[in-house]
Copies of this chain bind each other. A is one copy, B any other.
Amino acid sequence: MKFIKKNDIDFDEPIIIEAFPGTGLVGSIAAYQIIKELKLKYFGYFEIEGIPPITTIENGTPYPPVRAYANKNLVILFSDVIIPPNSINRLAELIVKTFSDNKPKLFVSLGGLIAGKSEKVFGIANKEKLLENLKNYVEIFNFGVLGGISGNLLIKCDDNGFDAIALLAETVGVRPDPRGGANLLEVLNKMFNLNVNVESLIKEAENIENKLKELAEQHLKMMSKKKEYPMYI
């Protein structure tokens, strides 16, 4: 497992936002809007053993499934595939290691919580002082169990002396939820003055939902074939 850098970016204490696919795809939806609106540059990709051999084509050019977009203040980690559970711990370590020389100001992990509705956003943090500040924006997620990379990433950040928070949006269910993504985006806007258009996201919600549903179904199909010998394109 390694990170392959594709472009040089002159970072200035960037915020690193991890938005890999999870419940309701809320992180992916918010991240996709940020990448598009802030015109973030393709920065590089993570090579991970065991993920399905798929490639995303954009404007006729192929991109690996797990990749980073960035400008000097912001990095977004985005993935077209679900991260396999047994890769999560090592990927969290690799993320921290990849950006540890860029004086990262804060790591932010985006996720969803199934709640039957898409209203609140909850927060957790790997340091007491961060929790105090977090309360100005979201409700604290006090007690519970988290699956996926969010928790791991915060712990690995703490082990290496970096500040990290996770923002967890309520979502209706496992289906893609643009409303939950919009809620995440509103918190990120306030927190980091991103000025990313949320209105258009809500308007586009239905379109995005369809496109992402399609993607999710393709991935699901690919993953269910993982141990056979599928026919390739």
By a beta-carbon cutoff of 8 Å, the part of chain A in contact with chain B is 4, 6, 20-23, 45, 47, 49-50, 52-64, 80, 82-86, 88-89, 111-114, 123-128, 131, 134, 140-152, 154-155, 158-159, 166, 168, 174, 215, 218, 222-223, 226, 229-233
- Majority SS of interface residues in chain A? mixed
Q: Which residues of the other chain, B, contact A215 by a CB distance below 8 angstroms?
A: 145
A166 to chain B, nearest CB (A): 8
Given contacts A159-B4, A223-B229, contact A88 B145 (CB under 8 A): no
Q: Which residues of the other chain, B, contact A152 by a CB distance below 8 angstroms?
A: 53, 55
Cα separation A174 to B230 with both chains bound (whole Å): 10
Given contacts A222-B147, A233-B113, contact A131 B58 (CB under 8 A): no
Cα separation A31 to B76 with both chains bound (whole Å): 41
Q: Which residues of the other chain, B, contact A223 by a CB distance below 8 angstroms?
A: 229
A4 to chain B, nearest CB (A): 6
Report yes or no: A62 in contact with B154, Cβ–Cβ below 8 A.
yes
A23 to chain B, nearest CB (A): 5
Given contacts A62-B126, A151-B62, A233-B168, contact A145 B82 (CB under 8 A): no
Q: Which residues of the other chain, B, contact A63 by a CB distance below 8 angstroms?
A: 155
Report yes or no: A233 in contact with B125, Cβ–Cβ below 8 A.
no
A183 to chain B, nearest CB (A): 15
Query: Which residue in chain B gives the minimum CB-CB distance to A45?
Result: B155
Report yes or no: B89 in contact with A150, Cβ–Cβ below 8 A.
no
Q: Which of A63, A84, A144, A232 gathers the greatest number of chain B CB atoms within 10 Å?
A: A232
Q: Which residues of the other chain, B, contact A218 by a CB distance below 8 angstroms?
A: 145
